[in-house]
Structure 1
Amino acid sequence: MSWTVDGDHLAPDEVVARLRANIDGGHLETWLTSEPGRLLAFVTNTERAMVMLLDGEGDAGEHAVTPEATGSSDGFVLANGQNDEYPDADTVPISEAFRIVEHVVREGSWPADAHHVSDR
């Protein structure tokens, strides 16, 4: 399965570098699209990230979670300038987010050991 970011096809081993480059450029929201139309969203505040996997436009999808986390974090700046705050339980540490995104791009599914919940 092939994934694109802004029209650029990315190999699984290129995804994290692209996410890091986007972050370094001040772009904290990145959307990846697969050939069949699945969507993978990555929004970060540089410490934690919201990672969502949707089956297509209009799907509520699933998102990665850290069940034991408490508190909340802000600074999740969307492309439209909106600054969101999320419960830490609904996000994952950025290193875990990178691992999850690379796995989804490589395998097309969540890593077996990654906690995620359905929003459907």
Structure 2
Amino acid sequence: MIESWVIDDGSRAPVSSDTVREVLRARIAGGQHETWLASSFGRLVAFVTNNERAMMSLVNEEGDPGEHAVDPGAGGSSEGFVLSNGQHDEYPNKDTVPLEEAFRILSHILSEGSWPPDTSWMVDR
């Protein structure tokens, strides 16, 4: 069985690796900076952006600490990550990736089911 993904907001429309960038750009343009994607296998991807960088986590199931994309050489921190509940977060840049890189990583996860081989991530379990 092939894993399929949807935006975890009650939507049933599948999101593919080919369309995820446009779908998320439209959500961001509409003020939705936090997006959760749910897979048919029960896995979840959290994607939160401040329009420049993104915090991305991949979890096996609800409650799993999972793993997140990292940018090991990045210094400093960035703020402006607005969650759907209105909370404003700041993250160290090493725990986020540039927005375009996040789109590339997410597209790979949706098509291959795993992190791209050239991507750094940290296991949080």
Q: TM-score range by the shorter chain?
A: over 0.9
| 1:78-97 paired onto structure 2 within 5 Å | 78-97=83-102
RMSD across aligned C-alpha pairs, in angstroms?
A: 0.6
Cα-to-partner distance string for 1:21-68 (whole Å, 9 max, x where unaligned): 010001000000000100001000000000100001000000000001
Q: d(CA) in 1 for partners of 2:34 and 2:112? A: 22
Q: How far off is 1:11 after superposition?
A: 1.8
Matched with 1:76 is 81
Letter in 1 for 2:6: T
> Is 1:4 aligned with 2:9?
no
Letter in 2 for 1:61: G
Matched with 2:36 is 31
Q: Give runs of ≥4 in structure 1 deviating > 4 Å.
A: none
Matched with 2:106 is 101
Q: d(CA) in 2 for partners of 1:101 and 1:10? A: 11
Structure 2 residue corresponding to 1:49, chosen from 38, 54, 75: 54
Normalising by structure 1, report the TM-score.
0.98
Structure 1 unaligned residues grouped into runs of 5+: none
Provide the aligned length of Structure 1 versus Structure 2: 120
Structure 2 unaligned residues grouped into runs of 5+: none
Identity fraction in percent: 59
